[in-house]
Amino acid sequence: DTGVSQDPRHKITKRGQNVTFRCDPISEHNRLYWYRQTLGQGPEFLTYFQNEAQLEKSRLLSDRFSAERPKGSFSTLEIQRTEQGDSAMYLCASSPLGASGRETQYFGPGTRLLVL
């Protein structure tokens, strides 16, 4: 069990550029989540996949954001036309498909994005 991994760990980009982040969940975890965390705040939910299906999206996920999980394995989060307000830590988590209320979400180390 290698844990949840995210790539890259850090990304600096200029305003208006597109960026893509990758998350590899714990193997055999059916559920995958994306959260965003700004400095001094707790993480905020962005979206959730069960296998390859995107089942829940937050209002925070504007039309500049898109997430995919092809084949129900790794996931990508793309931000188009980045803005300075997108600067944050993007966290990925995964959990097994278990009985409601009993499964823990396991978090990756995050990707820190800085938009100049």
Partner 1 sequence: KQEVTQIPAALSVPEGENLVLNCSFTDSAIYNLQWFRQDPGKGLTSLLLIQSSQREQTSGRLNASLDKSSGRSTLYIAASQPGDSATYLCAVRPQAQGAQKLVFGQGTRLTINP
Compute the distance between CA of residue 42 and CA of residue 47 in angstroms, rounded to an integer: 16
The total number of residues shown for the chain amounts to: 116
The DSSP code for 26 is P
Written as six digits, the tokens of 15 are 């305003």
Q: Considering the complex, what minimum distance in angstroms separates the CB of residue 24 from partner 1?
A: 13
Task: Determine the size of the site formed for partner 1 (CB under 8 A).
Answer: 28
Q: Write out the binding residues for partner 1, residues 55-114 only, by CB under 8 A.
A: 55-56, 58, 91, 93, 100-102, 104-110, 112
Q: How many CB atoms lie within 10 A of CB 33?
A: 23
Q: Considering the complex, what minimum distance in angstroms separates the CB of residue 81 from partner 1?
A: 26
Place of tokens 């597109």: 18
2 near partner 1 (CB under 8 A): no
- 19 vs 91 by CB, closer to partner 1: 91
Q: Helix %, strand %, coil % for the chain, to 5?
A: 5, 50, 45
Q: Write out the binding residues for partner 1, residues 11-50 only, by CB under 8 A.
A: 31, 33, 35, 40-45, 48, 50
Residues that bind partner 1 (CB under 8 A): 4, 31, 33, 35, 40-45, 48, 50, 55-56, 58, 91, 93, 100-102, 104-110, 112
